[in-house]
């Protein structure tokens, strides 16, 4: 792209970013009007150009006139990764030329195939401006809007790097905004620790599961660091106790965003860090039960989203796979965007108790966190109902028997005879293909090497 086009795009993003900074503080009525306009536009676009919705809406005898608000999106078929990955082309708009779209890939594999979501170039460029909503929060936490030293601890090929390369191709980024430093998440923890101390970054960016494991590693070694000031994580969740551990070992404020390859930035925390403000004007969000019915605020449910601003791969009424709880009251920070109070982990990270109850692996690990002193990292293996094996990487000098006694005492107190747990020492727990650590795996999954 020539310099004139890049400068034009830069000016366009700057104007949009100033606008986006104010959107979270709009009145609820104004946000609803903006959302409604985008709902109606994407419904008409899907009906006219996207094979899946052309067929589905006609089968259901729906027209774009029936989809007037976010609530009406529930009239459309409820879809998930399995449906989309079976035939991704059916969700791709015929009106977006190949030269005007780019593909992003999900971290997980579906039937041996990494999911592919196409984004139109305009939506990708606008995403750079939409990020101003959470950049403003980080600026407030740091006390200045620009000049941040940013250290990215992410795996090679992470979508954040892919996006950054595209934005560098399309825009001109002033050097005064930030200094960006990269350390691959595949590096040893010793090297990452040295890099953190040497770079003195203001902000670190990583996956949540990486931050959790790294904090456990620091604690087991008795190491503490006094940088960065903010540790920003996304991609997957951290429990409240794990966040507290990260803050104790690094001195940083733990801060998170909520995003996915299919939807972009769904939400962000505010300075109060009491949940995620949802960008509902960009992605409509509701929580549903196992039967697809919307659950009330305060109840846990699966996150269902509709991307209102991407015109290439169109996904409406899409089960994201996350379990969450919506807040019943607005945040006291002054932003009017709805708040997702809690993220409870992935739907695939469920452990079943003997009485049939299901709990998130994130919650189970958080319950045991204090008892796991001496563990570098942990993974749950869900076996038969009511039985779990905890794979554990031990720190030097840690005693498995002492940890096992503490863990079993916590489990007995919390769950009684509804959950039996055993500990299995392993030499390592490698991250998955996308650089994230699986908290829960099935018993038939490939086993890591046992500790000697």
How confident is the model at residue 361, as a pLDDT?
82
Q: 276 forms bridges with which residues in the sheet?
A: 269, 340
Per cent of the chain over pLDDT 70 is 95
**What CA–CA distance (Å, rounded) separates 264 from 106?**
11
Distances (CA, A) of 306 to 14, 62, 209, 328, 422: 26, 17, 26, 21, 41
The neighbour count for residue 285, using CB atoms within 10 Å, is 22
**What CA–CA distance (Å, rounded) separates 94 from 117?**
14
How confident is the model at residue 114, as a pLDDT?
59
**What CA–CA distance (Å, rounded) separates 233 from 246?**
11
CATH 3.30.300.30 is held by the domain 353-442:
yes
Which one, of 194, 105, 189, lies nearest residue 395 by Cα? Answer: 189
| 68 in Cβ contact with 20 (< 8 Å) | no
144 CA to centre of own chain:
26
How confident is the model at residue 434, as a pLDDT?
66
- 55-92 pLDDT, tens digit per residue, is 999 999 999 999 999 999 999 999 998 899 889 999 99
| 237 in Cβ contact with 267 (< 8 Å) | no
Three-class SS of the chain = CCHHHHHHHHHHHHHHHHHHHHHHHCCHHHHHHHHHHHHHHHHHHHHHHCHHHHHHHHHCCCCHHHCCCHHHHHHCCCECHHHHHHCHHHHECCCCCHHHEEEEEEEEEECCEEEEEEEEHHHHHHHHHHCHHHHHHHHHHHCCCCCEEEEEECCCCCHHHHHHHHHHHHCCCCCCCEEEEECCCCCCHHHHHHHHHHHCCCEEEEEHHHHHHHHHHHHHHCCCCCCCCEEEEECCCCCHHHHHHHHHHHCCEEEEEEEECCCEEEEEECCCCCCEEECCCCEEEEEECCCCCECCCCCEEEEEEEECCCCCECCCCEEEEEEEEECCCCCCCCCCCCEEEEEEEEHHHEEECCCCCEEEHHHHHHHHCHHHCCEEEEEEEECCCCEEEEEEEECCCCCHHHHHHHHHHHHHHHHHHHCEEEEEEECCCCCCCCCCCCCEEECCCCCCCECC
Provide the pairing of β-strand 101-110 with 113-120: antiparallel
Taking each helix axis from N to C end, the angle separating 3-22 and 121-130, rounded to the nearest 10 degrees, works out to 50
Q: Is 209 helix (H, G, I), strand (E, B) or coil?
A: helix
What lies within 8 Å, CB to CB, of 190 at 6+ separation is none
Q: Is 439 helix (H, G, I), strand (E, B) or coil?
A: coil
Give 10-residue mean pLDDT values along the chain (452 residues): 92 94 96 98 98 97 97 96 92 97 73 74 95 94 93 87 91 87 90 95 93 90 92 88 93 94 93 93 95 92 96 96 91 94 79 84 82 88 89 90 93 91 89 74 66 58
Q: Give me 154's structure tokens.
A: 């992410």
- 113-168 pLDDT, tens digit per residue, is 457 899 999 999 999 999 999 999 999 999 998 999 999 999 887 888 889 999 99
């Amino acid at each position: 792209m020539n310099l004139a086009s890049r400068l034009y795009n830069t000016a366009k993003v700057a104007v949009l970013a100033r606008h986006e900074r104010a959107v979270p503080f709009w009145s609820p009525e104004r946000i609803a009007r903006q959302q409604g306009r985008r709902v109606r536009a994407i419904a008409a676009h899907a009906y006219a150009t996207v094979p899946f919705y052309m067929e589905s809406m006609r089968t259901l005898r729906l027209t774009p006139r029936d989809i007037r608000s976010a609530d009406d999106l529930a009239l459309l078929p409820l879809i998930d990764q399995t449906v989309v990955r079976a035939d991704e082309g059916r969700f791709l708009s015929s009106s977006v030329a190949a030269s005007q779209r780019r593909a992003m890939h999900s971290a997980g594999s579906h039937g041996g195939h990494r999911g592919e979501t196409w984004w139109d170039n305009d939506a990708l460029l606008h995403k750079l401006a939409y990020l101003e909503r959470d950049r403003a929060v980080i600026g407030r936490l740091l006390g200045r809007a620009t000049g941040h030293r940013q250290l990215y601890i992410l795996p090679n090929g992470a979508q954040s790097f892919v996006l950054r390369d595209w934005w560098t191709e399309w825009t001109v980024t002033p050097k005064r905004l930030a200094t960006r430093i990269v350390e691959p998440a595949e590096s040893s923890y010793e090297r990452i620790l040295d890099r953190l101390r040497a770079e003195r970054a203001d902000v670190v960016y990583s996956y949540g599961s990486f931050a959790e494991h790294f904090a456990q590693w620091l604690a087991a070694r008795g190491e503490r660091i006094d940088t960065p000031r903010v540790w920003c994580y996304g991609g997957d969740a951290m429990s409240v106790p794990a966040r507290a551990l990260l803050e104790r070992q690094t001195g940083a404020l733990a801060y998170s965003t909520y995003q996915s390859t299919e939807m972009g930035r769904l939400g962000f925390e505010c300075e109060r860090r009491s949940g995620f403000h949802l960008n509902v004007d960009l992605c409509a969000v509701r929580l549903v039960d196992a039967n697809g019915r919307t659950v009330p605020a305060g109840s846990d449910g699966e996150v269902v989203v509709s991307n209102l601003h991407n015109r290439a791969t169109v996904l409406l009424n899409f089960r994201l796979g996350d379990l969450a709880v919506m807040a019943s009251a607005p945040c006291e920070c002054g932003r009017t965007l709805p708040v997702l109070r809690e993220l409870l982990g992935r739907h695939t990270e469920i452990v079943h108790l003997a009485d049939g109850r299901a709990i998130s692996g994130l919650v189970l690990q958080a319950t045991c966190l204090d008892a796991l002193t001496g563990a570098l990292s942990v993974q749950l293996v869900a076996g038969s109902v009511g039985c779990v094996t905890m794979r554990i990487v031990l720190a030097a000098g840690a005693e498995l028997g002492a940890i096992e006694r503490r863990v079993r005492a916590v489990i007995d107190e919390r769950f009684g005879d509804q959950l039996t747990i055993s500990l299995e020492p392993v030499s390592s727990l490698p991250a998955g293909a996308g650089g994230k650590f699986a908290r829960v795996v099935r018993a038939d999954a490939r086993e890591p090497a046992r500790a000697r």
